[in-house]
Structure 1
Amino acid sequence: MKNEKIAASYKRFHVIAHDLDETDDLKEECKTQLGEGVRLADWNDIVAYCEAGGSLDEFIDALKIPLEYVQPEDMDPIPNTSYRISMNGELHWAGDRHFFFARHDHKLRGDFLAHSNLDNYKLSLGSWFGKGGFALCFGDPESTVAPPEPKIIEPTPDAIELNDVDDLTEDDFEPDTTEPVLTHVVSFQKFHVYTHNLSERGDLKSACKDKLGIGVRLADWNDIVSYVESGGSLDEFIDALKIPLEYVESEDMDPIPNTSFRVSMNGELYWDGDRHYFFARHDHHLRGDFLAHNDLDNYKLSLGSWFGDGGYVLCFGDLNGTEAPPEPDITEPVPQSGG
């Protein structure tokens, strides 16, 4: 009877279907469906399997894990392509965002917030809401002895709960009234890098124009996209503007300070709340816990959003111009999900 409830098995891993939402107890569900010898699988169980020499490809094939998307640019996953698990024994990352993993074959899907990954995003650990789907259990369905608890590794970093930010309005954020100080660093064509002294609530649109002249505005992510789409070399852009890698190792959860460059996206400063848009260089390996809203050349450069004081800003236009540059192109809005 237990085997009839298993969609696929491989070694001690067992896939089951469930109809629970993110607030229900999948730890208990694995035990209910498969017995005392089984618990909810943990991301660290998969990590331990790989570190012991297990083949990730064999794991994926045996458990029939499909790709989560049709195209990696997709913002929405194919239904029922993720597998609920725990991480460090915890069901949730923040609020009710339940941990799950999905298959990405080295190309992270659109707006996927990856807390960890295996084999450069062959599999990615995420968290989100929803009812039903698949869960991964771990243990021996024929045993009456509970399996050992999962190994605990460095916790997934806490962050501001994105679902709480949705409830905030502009009145909840006081503007940064600091007098802007912009210092020129380097220029390339119409792109100009400056240091700045503002927090995420500072108005970098006004700062670029007021401090640098009418011919300049805050650069937009779509300006960089347009440059590349018109035949510009992204490598030349990176080299000329001296854009460094954002990390020492791609597994790092924290960036090297002052390696991101504030911009707008579709003319907007913020993704959600007062998370200010910026871009960073990742050379095709997205950093640990980076939420990428968009990317160029398979995450050579990635568009993100976060808080913080000072750093670099990218401005756009003619430093000697007497006419305002055209406004940036508007593309499909960035979804406010983070899933």
Structure 2
Amino acid sequence: MITEENQIILNNQQLHGRDFLTLADYTKDEISHLLDLADYVKKQKKNGIAFEPLKGKTLGMIFEKSSTRTRVSFEAGIYQLGGMGIFLSSKDIQIGRGETIADTAQVLSGYLDGIMIRTFSQESVEELAEYASIPVINGLTDTYHPCQVLADLQTVKEVKGVLQGVKLVYIGDGNNMAHSLMLGAALMGMELVVVAPKGYQPDPVITEKASKLAEQHDAKISVVDEPVDAVKGADVVYTDVWASMGQESEQAKRELAFKGYQVNEELLSLANPDVTFMHCLPAHRGEEVTAGVIDGKNSVVFQQAENRLHAQKALMTALMG
């Protein structure tokens, strides 16, 4: 008899050995499978049932950008799956001292079963994946944050029951979060409105890519600069910090540019009565969001943060199992 666990592992065969660089590299069915698997591994953990398909496997975790959630969720996740993780900072590897990414990729491929990298340049991640013979997972770049959005999709599905047709309004910088949310929403048939001031809107090339995906999946992607009209009818309102890591010198300038884009009680009241508030964290209370919203009854930010663990466990299981 085929158990639920065995069926999931069989379904993973189509994803085994793949890289996870952007959501656009995956089909709607493949993302749906990852979300189903994330639900399964979450249920197993909540029920205290061991799920260890990665026994004997090792994940290398390259961090050129530090993080709380990314490091802890991947390191705990690979351990819970029966494997182990090796933390590699920029001080631990030779890339920062002149070794090429191609050489590093080939060396690590001989030692590891998978690589997660959190860095600045998307091009560096793509070059690493090109030369590595093992799966490479994009833990974050300045352009994309696909692991976060995989967890976000899991959270929206848990709270709303569906993804298709859900209206999500993202208010803030048109950054890596906005880019990956556009791709994820387009694939899953959602309506996404990105609200950002002019000069801080998403990359037009990525917006165009997301719009083309949206046409294929009965989704809708739009970019506007007026938050009040945008949030009307919203099922989910999402925001992020105004100045991301590496942009600290722009803090004062960005505070001026984003004045009027704070998610506060007044703005949230214009959305649907059962609106859900989301934030990828870390948050700056009093800047992009008020304490009353992020700590209020509509907020699911800690459920969302926990789902990083489950979504990434599903991803590692599928790619490395």
Higher strand proportion (structure 1 or 2) = 1
Structure possessing the higher relative contact order (Cα contacts under 8 Å, 6 or more residues apart): 2
Answer 1 or 2: which has greater helix percent.
2
The TM-score, its normalising length taken from structure 1, stands at: 0.22
Q: Larger Rg: 1 or 2?
A: 1
